[in-house]
């Protein structure tokens, strides 16, 4: 478990309200927020050849290896730290992960994993949280700040598209990312990822920035 001193990073997490009157996205946000479905998504492949090799050399779970780098990429791009909360738009200092975790009985629970810039601290906290959820039952729902990225892994499926179950009775602005099956192709390893976002906060340009950054981190060049 991370020490109390290391947890100060999480406790210091803050959010800043966006002044929509001067916000460069005010018209975009106002336009897409009126939609019944402002959430859109794309599915793209990423090359995991180098990342998979490095994870195995380090003795680290490949899931943990790419999840950490996905959070690094999300946190590096401001638009992915924007959330709608109680009718206002906020920019969070940091975003964390809520992931589904499969248990032995094939049910799943939700884990809540803090991002930390120190990868070892992140791994310690993540493994502790995963062990806790696997030892319990039910969904493990919690009331948390919306500065989460909702993550899921579908290692059984090489999907080329994906949709999400959603409640239209509440505003949902958390980005969602799903990781597909690791596939061998001509000596390389490829994995499709699906990213869903609120169009009032995130455009295709920002998704492109994320995919570029995530690929660089997987390749160990960022």
Tell me the per-residue pLDDT of 80-114, one tens digit each, with 9 for 90 and over. Answer: 999 999 999 999 999 999 999 999 999 999 999 99
Residue 174 has pLDDT above 80, yes or no: yes
Residue 141 falls within a domain, yes or no? yes
Cα–Cα distance between 191 and 169 in angstroms, integer?
33
Q: What is the pTM of this model?
A: 0.92
Q: What is the number of domains present in the chain? A: 1
For residues 139-147, give the mean pLDDT: 86
Domain range enclosing 9 = 4-17+38-219
Does the pLDDT of residue 13 top 80, yes or no? no
Residue 147 lies in a domain: yes
Using CA atoms, how far apart are residues 156 and 176, in angstroms rounded to an integer?
Answer: 19
Question: Is the residue at 28 inside a domain?
Answer: no
- 24 domain residue, yes or no: no
Task: From the candidates 28, 164, 199, 206, give the one annotated as an active-site residue.
Answer: 199
In a domain, 77, yes or no: yes
Give a yes or no: residue 171 inside a domain.
Answer: yes
Q: Which of 101, 121, 123 is nearest to 111 (CA)?
A: 101
For residue 206, indicate whether it is catalytic: no
In a domain, 109, yes or no: yes
Task: Copy the structure tokens of residue 187.
Answer: 């000596």
- The DSSP letter of residue 35 is S
**What is the structure's pLDDT at 1?**
35
CATH number for 130: 3.30.559.10
Domain membership flag for residue 22: no
| pLDDT 10s digits, 35-66 | 999 999 999 999 999 999 999 999 999 999 99
């Amino acid at each position: 478990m991370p020490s109390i001193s290391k947890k100060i990073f999480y406790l210091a997490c803050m959010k800043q309200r966006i002044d929509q009157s001067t916000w460069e996205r005010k018209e975009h946000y106002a336009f897409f927020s009126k939609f019944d479905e402002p959430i859109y998504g794309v599915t793209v492949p990423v090359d995991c050849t180098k990342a998979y090799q490095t994870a195995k050399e380090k003795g680290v779970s490949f899931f943990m290896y790419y999840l950490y780098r996905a959070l690094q990429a999300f946190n590096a791009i401001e638009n992915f730290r924007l959330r709608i909360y109680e009718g206002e738009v906020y920019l969070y200092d940091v975003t964390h992960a809520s992931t589904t975790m499969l248990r032995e009985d094939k049910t799943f629970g939700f884990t809540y994993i803090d991002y930390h810039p120190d990868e070892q601290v992140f791994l310690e906290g993540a493994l502790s949280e995963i062990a806790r959820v696997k030892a319990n039952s039910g969904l493990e729902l919690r009331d948390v700040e919306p500065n989460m990225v909702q993550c899921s892994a579908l290692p059984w499926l090489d999907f080329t598209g994906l949709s999400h179950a959603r409640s239209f009775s509440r505003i949902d602005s958390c980005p969602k990312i799903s990781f597909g099956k690791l596939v061998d192709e001509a000596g390389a390893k490829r994995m499709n990822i699906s990213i869903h976002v609120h169009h009032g906060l995130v455009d295709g340009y920002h998704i492109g920035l994320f995919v570029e950054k995530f690929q660089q981190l997987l390749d160990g060049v960022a």
